[in-house]
Amino acid sequence: MSILNNGREVAILGVGMHRFGMFPDSSNAEMGRIAGLAALKDAGLGFKDVNAAYAGQIFAPVMTGVRVMKEFGLTGIPVQRLDNASATGSACLYEAVGAVAGGRYDVAMVLGFDKMTSMIQDSTAGTDPANLEDAILPAAFFAMWATRRMHERGTKVEHLAKIAAKNWNNGARNPMAQRQSDKPVTYEKVLSSRMVAWPLTTMMSCPIGDGAACAIVGTVELAKKLNPGRPVVKVVASALQSERYDRGHLFMGPVVGPGRMTVDTSAVCYQQAGVGPKDIDFVQVHDAFAIEELEYYELLGMCARGEAEACIERGDFELGGRVPFSTDGGLIARGHPGGPTGLAQIWESTLQLRGEAGKRQVENARTGLCQMMGGGSVCVIHILQKG
């Protein structure tokens, strides 16, 4: 049984972001401070009210977590740095939610930041030939999901391009998105972009970027007290799983999956929240490549096995559709700096549930699901609900 079902009710008290993008002149400390102060202000709290902090980062050197937290002041609180690849920010949130539910802290700050651009500049050109696994790029790994899917289900490249175009167009409505196209992106344009690993093109793939995002986690009781006029955003499910062994398991390469992990993790979350896929109004996923979002439609139970392609053709997952996915642009358009990515999903979902998502608002949004994968691999899912 989860601590969420036995412990205190937990809420997202506030959220804040530094836009994702290429910011060579901004430091992790600067971006983290901007996102963190925005989240505190949104919550109606000061840093003196924060009992503990979880700093999520993948690429920054040792000590960066605790050093960035000094931007807010030195109050002696516990600061922990956590890394779980792409799922870093989500994994930090998982720890904070458990700690607040269990009564260890009343207010926890979850801050994710990264500078993927400087990581790329610092590394030597190309991949490391001493590491056999480096022959398999993440794009190649997910391209093989696509090839297998095409073989089994007759998926067309147009289906992948339509997912990417949707996310580009959602991103254009999000001021925090890295990619904000000034005119609508067609699936033909996605298909004509440069090939990375067949059948995945650059516009079907997430960009490299920098950025920061923050969520302040506390009790529902406190949320009601701090902002009495505002809907409370409750965390009604929080789960993290690593892989279970099945034959065919890949032990080498930039591995994410198998699909069973998303199925299992979402099943735990649906049980914790007492909801099913039909109750979910909008979803954020780890769409680092368009084929991933297609698979997650089915793995999260948002459509039956084999029906994703028909749903894409009907527009089920677009804004205004049955269950909008990647409403903020997803990793493909909002961006994917690393540490903050999962917290950008929480930023978006919190705004959606409060009715503050502007041009990308999902009507009558009451329950949202956020799924992240971290290479290696892990799956983290949270379900947020308007209280």
Residue ranges that bind other proteins, judged by CB under 8 A = 126-132, 134-137, 139-141, 143-148, 151, 194-200, 245, 247-253
To the nearest 10 degrees (0 to 180), the angle between helices 290-299 and 259-273 is 50
Q: How far is the CB of 336 from other proteins (least distance, A)?
A: 19
The span from the CA of 116 to the CA of 288, in Å, is 14
Q: How far is the CB of 241 from other proteins (least distance, A)?
A: 16
- Between 133 and 188, name the residue whose CB sits nearer to other proteins: 133
Residue 283: beta bridge partners?
Answer: 325, 369
Q: How far is the CB of 188 from other proteins (least distance, A)?
A: 20
- Between 25 and 152, name the residue whose CB sits nearer to other proteins: 152
- Between 100 and 143, name the residue whose CB sits nearer to other proteins: 143
The span from the CA of 178 to the CA of 150, in Å, is 30
**125 CB-near residues (< 8 Å, 6+ apart):** none
Strands 378-386 and 233-242: antiparallel
Q: How far is the CB of 384 from other proteins (least distance, A)?
A: 34
Q: What are phi and psi of 256, to 5 degrees?
A: -130, 130
- Between 129 and 320, name the residue whose CB sits nearer to other proteins: 129
233: exposed, middle or buried (Cβ count in 10 Å: 0-12, 13-18, 19+): buried
- Between 24 and 245, name the residue whose CB sits nearer to other proteins: 245
- Of the candidates 107, 78, 367, which has an alpha carbon nearest to the alpha carbon of residue 225? 107
**Contact indicator for 337, 116 with CB cutoff of 8 Å:** yes
Which two structure tokens, joined as six digits, stand for 191?
């298909």
Provide the residue type at 53 as one letter.
A
Q: How far is the CB of 154 from other proteins (least distance, A)?
A: 12
Cα R_g (the chain), whole angstroms: 19
Q: How far is the CB of 129 from other proteins (least distance, A)?
A: 4
- Between 55 and 197, name the residue whose CB sits nearer to other proteins: 197
